[in-house]
Amino acid sequence: MQAKLVRIGLLGCGNVGAPLVHMLREEGAAIAARTGLELAVTRIAVRSAHRDRDLPDLPDGTLTTDARAVAADPEVDLVVELIGGIEPARELVLSALANAKPVVTGNKELLANHGAELFAAAEAAGRDLLFEAAVGGGIPVVRAVRESLLGEPVGRIMGIVNGTTNYILSQMTDGGASYADALADAQGKGYAERDPTADVEGFDAGAKIAILASIAFGARIVAGDVYHEGISAITAADIAFARSLGYVIKLLAITERIDAAGPNPTVAVRVHPAMVPVTHPLAAVRDSFNAVFIEGSSVGELMLYGRGAGGRPTASAVLGDILDAAGNLVRGAATPLGSFGPAAICPIDELRSAYYLNLEVSDRPGVLAQVAGAFAERGVSIRSMEQEGLGDEARLVFITHEAREADVQATLHTLRQLDSVRHIRSLLRVIG
């Protein structure tokens, strides 16, 4: 059988793009034998034409700095966007689709902010827009949610979807490092950027959970809808307390459907550190690994685990999408993206969770009753309490039953007014 040639225009040839070119060279013959598709990267757009890329034997004229020309080139059948960021990536993806080319991208920022516009353009063009690499790097979670679980009423998705923060928290948990030392170590190993804000403050995880929420609930959910708190305030003491209570601290990206099934769902979508019981599968996800834990009413619980970033794992996900899109193109088909209706976003104040609260108080009679009274006043019920003497002070550690966020915040407000409460060390949500 003569293999069908599909000519690929690659936009960006960096950490992910370069290994993708290598993989296509290494696996090209096997792919052609198995699928009948000959995938050839015929154009590559980069920012700097003079950078050394370790890509020998590129035919003359393959490399260009004119990405717009590649997106519109009639001799390119399929476009792979691996530039990142919003512009010019958005304009290039729209141009490729307008020129009837399927697009594969790994760009979470673009999808989490402009997904609706891009999905509409793909629908209008009748072409694929595939984005497996945008969430969870090499873990095939997008396809699992979009296709395998299409008929499943998904109730909640909880993910460890940022390898940098999981590495930092693992160093603090397993090695007893401080946050500052663990961050410096992550930067030294290339896991964290010099400016780590996007990772440690939860923006990166927020973009990913917005994408997962959109495809899981068929709703338009953007990065701006996501409530986020990062890990920079987590201390070694929090980690030690969590351990003594049978928990580990993880940065979780969570989305859940609050109302019953039906159109226009009410959805909660958030990123924050949380105490996870050591027996929960997510507690075992260490170092820079990622995992996505899905709860559905029929399928029950399932977890996908693997490398959430890195050049080759991410390129592997991109290659899977290229094969899907190329196969569809040859057949004149496209994978339907499904419809994305409006969603109501449940404000964080209305969400319910169990909480961990760590207070430093004066060590004198009556203080415990005063503190317990502040909880009772707001209907926040205490599940367990531990007390530790610290000279003329005492530490009180509470775990509450499930309570409304607004009631817990009001309790904190009351506690801050009490002169017996010296310091509120930390408040963390508890997953159970």
Ligand X SMILES: NC(=O)c1ccc[n+]([C@@H]2O[C@H](COP(=O)([O-])OP(=O)(O)OC[C@H]3O[C@@H](n4cnc5c(N)ncnc54)[C@H](OP(=O)(O)O)[C@@H]3O)[C@@H](O)[C@H]2O)c1
Using CB under 6 A as the criterion, which residues of the chain lie in contact with ligand X when the complex forms?
Answer: 11-17, 45-48, 51, 67, 82-84, 88, 106-108, 133, 137, 309-310, 314
Minimum separation from the CB atom of position 175 to ligand X (A):
24
Cα–Cα separations (whole angstroms), residue 59 to 42, 44, 56, 62, 332: 8, 11, 9, 6, 29
Minimum separation from the CB atom of position 147 to ligand X (A):
20
Q: Alpha-carbon distance 212 to 230, whole Å?
A: 19
Taking alpha carbons only, the member of 224, 214, 183 closest to residue 200 is 183
Residue nearest to ligand X (CB): 14
Q: Alpha-carbon distance 136 to 159, whole Å?
A: 9
Taking alpha carbons only, the member of 175, 244, 246, 278 closest to residue 388 is 244
Minimum separation from the CB atom of position 329 to ligand X (A):
22
Residues constituting the chain? 432
> Could you say which DSSP state residue 341 is in?
B
Q: Are 105 and 35 within 8 A, CB to CB?
A: no
Cα angle for residues 366, 370, 375 (degrees, 5° grid): 150
Minimum separation from the CB atom of position 92 to ligand X (A):
8
Work out the angle between the directed axes of helices 203-217 and 108-125 (0-180°, nearest 10): 30
Instruction: Report which secondary-structure segment, H or E, holds 18.
Output: helix 17-35
Between 88 and 153, name the residue whose CB sits nearer to ligand X: 88
189 as an active site residue: the answer is no
Among 4, 101, 189, 208, the active-site one is: 208
Query: Which residues, other chains included, contact 299 with Cβ-Cβ below 8 Å and sequence gap of 6+?
Result: 149, 152
> Could you say which DSSP state residue 159 is in?
E
Question: Which residues lie across from 384 on neighbouring strands?
Answer: 399
272: left (phi over 0), alpha (psi -120 to 50) or beta: beta
Q: Alpha-carbon distance 290 to 319, whole Å?
A: 20
Minimum separation from the CB atom of position 12 to ligand X (A):
3
Between 222 and 283, name the residue whose CB sits nearer to ligand X: 222
CA atoms within 13 A on the CB side of 94: 14
Between 191 and 293, name the residue whose CB sits nearer to ligand X: 191
Between 46 and 319, name the residue whose CB sits nearer to ligand X: 46
Between 170 and 314, name the residue whose CB sits nearer to ligand X: 314
Q: Alpha-carbon distance 355 to 346, whole Å?
A: 19
Between 53 and 404, name the residue whose CB sits nearer to ligand X: 53
Q: Alpha-carbon distance 427 to 406, whole Å?
A: 13
Minimum separation from the CB atom of position 413 to ligand X (A):
39
Minimum separation from the CB atom of position 270 to ligand X (A):
21
Q: Catalytic amino acids?
A: 208
